[in-house]
Amino acid sequence: MTAAHHSVVDVIRTKRDRGELTDEQIRWVLDAYVRGTVADEQVAALLMAVLLNGLDARELSTWTSAMIESGERLDLSALSRPTVDKHSTGGVGDKVSLVLAPLVASCGAAVPQLSGRGLGHTGGTLDKLESIPGWRAALTNEEIVAQLESVGCVICAAGAGLAPADRKLYALRDVTATVESIPLIAASIMSKKIAEGTAALVLDVKVGTGAFMPDRERARELARTMVGLGTAHSVETVALLTSMDTPLGRTAGNALEVREAEAVLEGGGPPDLVEVTLALAGEMLARCGIHDDPAARLADGSARATYRAMIAAQGGDPDAELPTASHVRAVPAARDGVVRRLDARAVGVAAWRLGAGRARKEDPVSPTAGVVCVRKPGEVVAAGEPVVELHTDDAATLEAALAALADAIEIGDAPAAAPLVLERVAV
């Protein structure tokens, strides 16, 4: 039996028996895994032990450091602007990044939004922007730094060199039912955000039916864990818990969401989307010591000008017509009344079935597919009027999307008002 095999079994056994791993054990096992000298099945066993028995604050900080050290770190120290980023845990209709990055940049910060693609019922920011003709997600580190200096913001794919341990661990968690572990989620998110070199970070942790964490208690624990990790790695971090029982804005789907984000940048757009965006913008500007009014930057067009410059810098045509779906099917209200509930998860699943999302990382997505929420909770509707519209280029997807919405819409007599920003988590 090799020494490596022997020590990985010791690491698994320690965590299996609820022991604490030493810093050395954690660094060794993650490094060996990335180099390929520890097998998938052994790390799978370790991940399950972590899911069941947890990691304490020291173990988690070391685990996250080891993930960061598995690759390169982006060096943003030469920039003339203070750096701040935002990460959302994902929801339905969450196109906040498209507005927020250029908005905060227009106030004088540098916003390095290294984003991901959608999986399942939550959409990915890169998939949304790829519905703009010519826009590209893949940039070199040099291009990222240059664009942050010239435009002030970038939304692009995280390069393969950033926290490569995370990619391997994430794929393994996906197929071993170990995704739900709060320490592993926190390490995955924060290793990438710390490696991207930002000095400050604001987390948007979604809570509700359409969120990755439907339970508020667990969402709060995730927020606290991530804020603690950021702080331990000298990144000034704060989190907002925001509601995701209803889709954010009126659209879920790629080009549909870009169009809606552009409406906000033009000074309009849905009030709920504006409210969440401004709450996060205020936190981001406070973190990097900028005293400016983000609402004024939306009103005077400077956020829109920054957005257009960002799209153009990445090869996109900010004036191009966005694609639209060839089939639109309305889902009518069953009775007169006020919309009391429009379930975010069901809307997300419907958009996914229409072609807006993917089941596997390799799957293509449709730029035109998605759901438009014609009426939202609190709004009056008459029987037969549309509550939502389904958009797709493939009529064969409509039935499955309709089935996803079977119990999603509730119409009653009195409005159900719910706050959007639920609480703030800081050190």
Catalytic, 166? Answer yes
Cα–Cα distance between 138 and 348 in angstroms, integer?
A: 26
CB-CB contact of 163 with 202 (8 Å) = no
Residue 173 annotated as catalytic: yes
* 415 CB burial (10 A radius; 0-12, 13-18, 19+): middle
- The DSSP secondary-structure symbol of 354 reads I
Catalytic one among 173, 220, 250, 358? 173
Catalytic residue among 188, 243, 302, 366: 188
The DSSP result for 185-239, as a single string, is HHHHHHHHHHHTT-SEEEEEEEESTTSSB-SHHHHHHHHHHHHHHHHHTT-EEEE
Task: Please list the residues that pair with 322 across neighbouring strands.
Answer: none
Which entry of 85, 94, 127, 166 is annotated as an active-site residue?
A: 166
Residues 6+ apart with CB under 8 A from 92: 121, 122, 123, 210, 244, 247, 248, 252, 344, 345, 347, 348, 351
Residue 116 buriedness (CB in 10 A; 0-12 / 13-18 / 19+): middle
H/E stretch holding 253: strand 251-253
- HSE, side-chain direction, 13 A CA sphere, residue 297: 26
Among this protein's residues, is 188 annotated catalytic?
yes
- CA 209 to CA 202: how far, in whole Å? 22
Q: Per-residue DSSP letters for 289-353? A: T----HHHHHHTSHHHHHHHHHHHHTT--TTSPPP--SEEEEEE-SSSEEEEEE-HHHHHHHHII
Active-site residue (options: 87, 206, 233, 391): 87
Q: What is the Cα–Cα distance from 188 to 180, expressed in whole angstroms? A: 12
- Of these residues, 15, 86, 192, 391, which one is catalytic? 192
Q: Torsion angle of alpha carbons 9, 14, 17, 19, nearest 10°?
A: -170
The 3-state DSSP class for residue 83 equals: strand
Q: Which residues does the annotation mark as catalytic?
A: 87, 166, 173, 188, 192
